[in-house]
A and B are shown apart, each in its own frame.
Chain A
Amino acid sequence: MEYTSDVWIQSAAYLGAAFSVGFGAIGAALGEGYAAGAASQAIGKNPEQSGAILKNMLIGQAVAESAGIFALVISMLLAFVHSPEAPLITAFAYLGAGLAMGLSAIGSGMGSGFPAADACRGIADNPETQGMLTTNMLIGSAICQTPAIFGMVVAFMLMFVDFSQQPLWPGWAALLGAGLSVGLAAIGSGAGSGIPAGSSTAGMARQPAAATTIRTNMLIGSAVSQTPAIFGLVVAFMLLFIDWSGKPGWPTWAMLLGAGLSTGLSAIGPGIGNGLTAGEAASGIARVPEAQGPVTTTMLIGQTVAQSTVIYGFLVSLILLFIDRPASQAMVDWAAPLSAGICMGFGGIGPGVGEGYAAAYTVRRIARDARQNVLLTRVMLVGQAVSESTGIYSLIVALLLLFVI
């Protein structure tokens, strides 16, 4: 066997299989261990309910496991894929598929652990609410699984769509970038939407009469937490299905890889931040159901601001996807756009988490004393604006790298 395409494709398939099951194993196991710990704690508190708690733990763990199983399936498909005579670009499709599935399973597995744990604790404290808690746990963890499903869809597309009409340069970077974009963006949203799912379940155990209000708020909060993952999915689709044959290989490859990293990385922070805010909103409403109006309003304002850095990341990705650069292999011409994507990607993580954290504590105070609504929201916005600054610096540096250098 010479260094034919087959050699590289087969090697890439094995590495993709490893990325898929390796990364994919992290989240599900963390979530399940967290649920098992909470179950032991709950049984210790209320041993009479051990049967119900164990049953609930196993149901919750089964949902958390699904992300790991998706990763196993993609890994097995990649380990036994056989594609003789395929063009070399297939190697990058397989590598991208493994990364998309593996990375996207991390958040979903972790996130599903939160509602499972809180349902176990809730059953110990208030056994009559068991049915309600298990139902809410299942709704909440189903939402947590969505980002892993986005990753699986992109992984299947990468494996089974024919990319032979795409040129190797810069097509390889588009396929790898698509996997990184959807995979990384799913981490924050998957873990983030687990937080409201967990705290709404805990809240229902304390205040079963307010179950409907709590569930509505949880659904709104976790739906907003999913947005960053959707940005990652959109960028992945653009990378996969735009025809790159009209563009020069150099430096377009760096722009496409940068586009995937910019949205993918910058989505991690807002996903987690939005989840923190929604989680405190759900526990606040469980404590004081009448505060639902002001709490939900401030939650949405806070989440919107926390969303801003992923929008910057998306903006930088769009610029990288659609500006035209003349063909050039000079180092500066490819390093600058790649660096712009990395800069905006990492720069978006911190402000997203920080602003979500600020909004979480604001929402918590408003639930206790709704009359302070206006004052607290104003202070929250000032604090978030300061927290935003590093995200804006990253955007400025990314734009400088793109348009001034």
Chain B
Amino acid sequence: MEIAGADLVRAAALMGAGIAMGLGAIGPGVGEGFAAGKACEAIGKNPKEAGLLTRTMLVGQAVSESTGIYSLVVALLLIFVV
């Protein structure tokens, strides 16, 4: 089968999408898990503040999620736009 140049560019973009999202998922997964663990630990020590701590955990995780979202955006761009 003849592989044209356009196919190669498309393949590189698809490979790039996988690499971007795969690598980009490492940090948020670990970081958000750490935040959740510490929040549970704190709630265990001080159950009265469960609501406040859950909120803090979610706000913190939302920020930690952002780089994963950047990777997702770039991956989707590489798949559907470029």
Binding site for B on A (CB under 8 A): 1-4, 6-8, 10-12, 14-15, 17-19, 21-41, 43-45, 47, 50, 53-54, 57-58, 61-62, 65, 68-69, 71-72, 75-76, 79-80, 102, 109
Residues of A within 8 A of B64 (CB): 29, 32-33, 36, 61
**Cα distance, A40 to B33, chains bound together (Å):** 13
- Contact check, B56 vs A43: say whether CB atoms are below 8 A apart: yes
Complex Cα distance A48/B74, Å?
A: 41
Q: How would residues 36 to 78 of chain B score, 1 for a CB under 8 Å from any chain A CB and 0 otherwise?
A: 1111011101101100110011011101111110110011011
Does B68 lie within 8 Å of A7, measured CB to CB? Answer: no
Query: Taking chain A's interface residues, is the majority helix, strand, or loop, or is none over half, making it mixed?
Result: helix
Q: Which residues of A have CB within 8 Å of B52?
A: 43, 47, 50
Q: Do residues B74 and A75 form an inter-chain contact, with CB atoms below 8 A?
A: yes
Known contacts A39-B60, A44-B42; is A10 also within 8 Å of B71 by CB? no
Q: Tell me which of B30, B67, B77 contacts A68 (CB under 8 A).
A: B67
Docked complex Cα distance between A4 and B6 (Å): 10
Q: Is A44 within 8 A of B46, CB to CB?
A: yes
Count chain B residues whose beta carbon lies closer than 8 angstroms to a beta carbon of A: 59
- Provide the residues of chain A in CB contact with B39, threshold 8 Å: 37, 40, 44
| Partner pick for B31 among A1, A12, A29, CB 8 A cutoff | A29
A109-B15 Cα distance, complex, nearest whole Å: 25
Instruction: Select one of A17, A36, A79 contacting B60, CB under 8 A.
Output: A36
- CB nearest to A19 among chain B residues: B19
Identify which of B26, B45, B57, B75 contacts A36 (C-beta below 8 A): B57
CB B17 to nearest CB in A, in angstroms, measures: 7
Number of A-B residue pairs having CB atoms within 8 Å of each other in the complex: 214
Evaluate contact between B5 and A15: CB separation under 8 angstroms.
Answer: no
Complex interface: chain B residues within 8 A of A14 (CB): 9, 12-13, 15-16, 78, 82
A-side contacts of B66, CB under 8 Å: 28-29, 32, 65, 68
4 tightest CB-CB pairs across the interface, nearest first? A33-B31, A36-B60, A44-B42, A22-B23
Question: Using a CB-CB cutoff of 8 Å, which residues 1-40 of chain B contact chain A?
Answer: 4-6, 8-9, 11-13, 15-28, 30-39
Please give me the residue from chain B that is nearest to A73 by CB atom: B70
Q: Is the CB of B12 within 8 A of A12?
A: yes
A9 to chain B: closest residue by CB: B9
B28 touches A25 (CB 8 A): yes
B66–chain A nearest beta-carbon distance, Å: 6
Closest to B81 in A: A79
Known: A22-B23, A25-B68, A43-B53. A37 touches B38 (CB 8 A): yes
Residue of B nearest to A27 (CB): B27
Q: Which of B9, B33, B74 has the most CB of A within 10 A?
A: B74
Report the bound CA distance from A322 to B23 in whole Å.
35
Given A17-B20, A22-B22, A40-B67 contact (CB < 8 Å): no
CA distance A72 to B75 in the complex (A): 12
Query: How far does the alpha carbon of A1 sit from the alpha carbon of B11 in the complex, in Å?
Result: 14
User: Are B35 and A21 touching (Cβ within 8 A)?
Assistant: no
Question: Do A2 and B20 contact each other (CB < 8 Å), given the known contacts A37-B39, A40-B38, A68-B66?
Answer: no
Give the residues in chain B near A68, CB-CB below 8 Å.
Answer: 66-67, 70
A79 touches B82 (CB 8 A): yes
Asked if B20 and A75 sit within 8 Å, CB to CB, the answer is yes
Is there contact, CB below 8 Å, between A41 and B67? Answer: no
The distance in angstroms between the C-alpha atoms of A62 and B60, with both chains bound, is 11
Cα A25 to Cα B43 in complex, Å, equals: 29
Do A36 and B61 touch (CB < 8 A)? yes
Please, which residues of chain A bring their CB within 8 A of the CB of B16? 14-15, 17-18
Nearest A-chain residue to B16, judged by Cβ: A18
Knowing A7-B8, A68-B67 are in contact, say whether A33-B61 is a contact too (CB < 8 A). yes
Which residues of A sit under 8 angstroms from B49, Cβ to Cβ? Answer: 43-44, 47
Asked if A1 and B4 make an inter-chain contact with CB atoms under 8 angstroms apart, the answer reads yes
Considering the chains assembled together, what is the distance between the CA atoms of A170 and B72 in angstroms?
Answer: 35
Known: A36-B57, A43-B53, A50-B56. 10 other contacts (CB 8 A): A7-B6, A14-B16, A18-B75, A25-B27, A29-B32, A33-B31, A37-B35, A40-B42, A54-B56, A71-B70
